[in-house]
Amino acid sequence: MISKKEIEHIAKLARLGLSDAEIKKYKNDLSSILGYIEKLKEVDISGIEPTSHSVIVESVTREDEAKAEESEVVRKLAEMAPDKKNGYVKVKSVL
Amino acid sequence: MELTELTIAEANRGLVNKEFSAQDLAKAFLDKIEKEDKDIFSFLTVTKDQALLKAKQVDELINGKNDIPLLAGVPLGVKDNILVRGTRCTAGSKILENYISPYDAAVARKIKKQGAVILGKTNMDEFAMGASGENSAFGPTKNPRDLTKVPGGSSSGSAAAVAADMAVYALGSDTAGSIRQPASFCGIVGLKPTYGAVSRYGLIAMASSLDQIGPIAKTVEDARIVFEAIQGKDPADSTSVESEIRNQQFAIQKLRIGLPKEYFIKGTDNEVEKIVRGAIKKYEEMGAKIEEVSLPHTEYSVAAYYIITPSEISANLARYDGIKYGYSDNAVNDLMKVYLNSRGRGFGDEVRRRIMLGTYALSAGYYDAYYLRAQKVRTLIREDFTNVFKKVDVLMTPVAPTPAFLLGEKIKDPLSMYLCDVFTAPVNLAGLPALSLPAGKAGNLPVGLQIIGKPFEEDIILKAGELLEKTI
C-alpha cells in the first residue's frame, strides 16, 4: 500500500499540482494498479537481460552542426511560447 | 454507390476515369462530416479550405493528363497526435488545445506528396492513453455501429470516421492496440506495422519503445496501399529501418497458423471466441495448417506494459512545462508553481495517473523492483514469440476479449480499462506487425480477428487477411 506522503512526493517529482481530493484518489488508484503489477514477482527473471527496444537500435550519428531551418518555422516555434520578450522565451526567476 | 462509400482503389479508378472530380469527392465527405459528425464526434478539427484547395490541385493534374499516385485526391482523417503543418494538433489534451503544428510529420509529408486530401484531425484518448476514446479532453467519440457504445481507443475518431464513411481511410497510432482494437470495435481494418517500419517523426510521443503509426481502412487492400506509402527509413527517426520488400511466395496450403492457447481462455466473451474460431476454421478449409502453440508469459504482458509505458510517459511528457508551448498558468510568480499548475490543470485524469505511476516506478529505490523487472519480463514475452515463429508463420487470436462496450462502463475503473489490451499489448512489447480485420458480428457489434506476423512480414499477414475478407 502506497502512503499519502509517497503520493505527495511523487506528485512533486512529476511537477503535478494536485488537490487533496486528487491525492487521495491517486493513492487508491496507484495502490490498486501496483497490486495487480505484483504479478510480475511470480516470473523467474534470473539471468534474463532486459529489453528496452524490440528491435536492435543502433546509434545514429551525424555531424554536429546547426541545420538551417526555414525562418517561418523558427518564427512559429518561438511564437508558441506562452510568455516571451524580444524574441526570447521568458521564464520566471529560477533563483 | 455513394462517393463516401468508396475504397482507395475505387476512388482512384473513379478519379482517373473522370467519373467524378477530386473536388466532388472532397465535398461529399465534408458535407457528410458537417451533417453527421455531431452525433459521433470523430473529428476535432476539420480543415475544409485546405482540403478543397488540395482537391482542386489534384483535379488540375488529372485534367492536364498527368498520371496520379494512388492516394491523390483521396480524402482521409489524421489522428490528432500526428503533426500536419499549419493545423491545430491537440493530442486530445487541453494542454495542447491551441497548439499549431509548425511542421509536417514524416507520414503527413509522404501522403501529401502523393496528393492526399486531409479532411481534418480525428478525436482520440488524451495523448493516446485509453481504450475507449472517453479520455479525450474534448468529449468522447461514439461508435457509428451503435451510438451507446464506445468506438474503442485510442484511435477512436480515426476508426469511427472510416466506419461512418466520413473518410476513405485514416492514420492512427498503436502503442498497445490503439489501431487494432478500435478497428475491431468499428468493424473495419487496422494495421499495426512492425516497430521501426514507419517513421514516428512528428508523432506526439507516448511510449517511444512501443509507438507505431499505421493505417485504418475499409479493406485490407487499402491498408496495404497506405502502409506502402508511409513505410521506410527516415534519418529523423533513428529507430526507423528500411523494410526489405519481400515479395514472398504465398500459398494458403503452405501457411502454418498458430493458435496461442493463452489467447483462448475463460474471460473472453463467448460470441467473440465463436466468431474468431469460425474465421480460423475458414482458413483450415482453405488448406492452411492449424496448430495450437503456447506463449507462456502472456498473462504478464499487461502488468509489464503498465510499468514500461507509464515510465516512458513520465519522461516523454516532461516536455509539457508551461514554458515552451501549450497551456500555461503563469499568473503565479514562482517557477515551481508555473510547473505545478500548468501540468496539474493541463493534463487530464488518465495522463496524470500514468505520469504518477511512471514517476513512482522510476524513482529511487523502486527502479529494480518495477522498471528493470518489467523489462526482463518483456524479454521473456519477446522470446515466446521468437520460439513459436520457428514452428508457424502467423498467429491468429481475438483482438479484444469483448465487442464494443457501453460508454461509461469502464471509465471509472482504470484497471478494467487496462485489461482491454490483453491480446494486443504483447504484440507491441515484441515489436511485431499485426492486422485486425472484421471476422463477424455479435448481434449488431463487429468482432475482429487479429493476425500477428514475424517482424517485417506485413506482406504475409495482409495476404492472409485478404483471403478471409473474400469469404465474408
Domains defined along chain B, listed by start: 3-230 (3.90.1300.10), 302-369 (no CATH)
Rg (CA), chain A: 22
The answer, for B109 touching chain A at a CB cutoff of 8 Å, is: no
Instruction: Say what the pLDDT of residue A70 is.
Output: 81
Instruction: Say what the pLDDT of residue B82 is.
Output: 98
Residues of chain B with pLDDT under 50: none
pLDDT of A95 higher than 80: no
Instruction: Say what the pLDDT of residue B245 is.
Output: 61
Distance in angstroms (rounded) separating the CA atoms of residues B143 and B410: 15
Contact A39 B300 (CB under 8 A): yes
Unique residue bearing C-alpha cell 495502490: A31
Q: How confident is the prediction for chain A on average, in pLDDT?
A: 90
Sheet with B169-174, edge to edge strand ranges: B43-46, B117-122, B75-79, B169-174, B212-217, B189-192, B434-442, B445-453, B394-398, B256-260, B289-293
Residue of B188, B183, B180, B191 lying closest to B219 (CA atoms): B188
Instruction: Say what the pLDDT of residue B247 is.
Output: 64
Contact A54 B360 (CB under 8 A): no
Can you point out the beta strands (E) in B220-260? Answer: 256-260
For chain A, the domains span: 4-42
Distance in angstroms (rounded) separating the CA atoms of residues B378 and B427: 11
Instruction: Say what the pLDDT of residue B65 is.
Output: 87
Active site residues of B: 79, 154, 178
Nearest CA in chain A to B317: A14
Q: What confidence tier does A79 reach under pLDDT thresholds 50, 70, 90?
A: confident
Distance in angstroms (rounded) separating the CA atoms of residues A2 and A54: 31
Q: Contact at 8 Å (CB) between B459 and B465? A: no
Residue of B167, B243, B188 lying closest to B212 (CA atoms): B243
Nearest to B377 among A26, A29, A40 (CB): A40
CA–CA min distance B329, chain A (Å) = 9
Q: What is the DSSP letter of B203?
A: B
Residue of B298, B354, B345 lying closest to B326 (CA atoms): B345
Instruction: Say what the pLDDT of residue A62 is.
Output: 80
Beta bridge partners of B143: B146
Contact B429 A7 (CB under 8 A): no
Contact B304 A40 (CB under 8 A): yes
Contact B102 A77 (CB under 8 A): yes
Indicate the residue type of B44: L
Nearest to B372 among A6, A50, A80 (CB): A50
Q: Could you say which residues from 84 to 103 on chain B have a Cβ atom under 8 Å away from some Cβ of chain A?
A: 99-100, 102-103
CB proximity list for B412: less than 8 A, separation 6 or greater: none
pLDDT of A58 higher than 80: no
Contacts of B334 in chain A (CB under 8 A): 92
Number of A:B CB contacts under 8 A?
167
CB proximity list for B109: less than 8 A, separation 6 or greater: none
DSSP-H helix ranges across B64-155: 106-113
Contacts of A13 in chain B (CB under 8 A): 359, 363
Q: Which residue, among A18, A28, A41, A43, would best test binding to B if mutated, counting the most B CBs under 10 Å from its CB?
A: A43
* The domain over range A4-42 is classified in CATH as 1.10.20: yes
Q: Which residue, among A3, A8, A12, A15, would best test binding to B if mutated, counting the most B CBs under 10 Å from its CB?
A: A15
Instruction: Say what the pLDDT of residue B250 is.
Output: 87
CA atoms within 13 A on the CB side of B205: 20
Q: What are phi and psi of B62, to 5 degrees?
A: -65, -45
Instruction: Say what the pLDDT of residue B246 is.
Output: 64
